[in-house]
Amino acid sequence: MGALYLLLPISLILVVLIGAAFWWAIFSGQFEDTDEAARSILEDNDTPEPKMQEREEEKESRRDSSE
């Protein structure tokens, strides 16, 4: 019975703190547009040109110069 006098207030304080953190997260915009990061990965076009095309062009230029 003595443990209840200690654990009950601690658990209630913990629930209030978690609720306050959740309340803050909602009203500070933490859950706004959660898909933006996923879409930005798919829409990112900053990839360099493929190296294979450059190698083929070098091979062709070597063939032309050797002939």
pLDDT at res. 1 = 85
What pLDDT, on the 0 to 100 scale, is given for residue 48?
Answer: 60
Task: List the domain range (segments joined by +) for residue 24.
Answer: 3-65
The predicted pLDDT at position 66 comes to 66
pLDDT per residue over 2-61, tens digit each?
Answer: 899 999 999 999 999 999 999 999 999 888 877 787 777 777 666 666 677 777 778 787
Confidence at residue 59, expressed as pLDDT on a 0 to 100 scale: 78
The pLDDT value recorded for residue 11 is 98
How far is it, in rounded angstroms, from Cα 33 to Cα 48? 29
Looking at the structure of the chain, the number of domains it has is 1
Q: CB of 20 within 8 A of CB of 14?
A: no
Residue 67's alpha-carbon distances to 57, 58, 61, in angstroms, are: 16, 14, 10
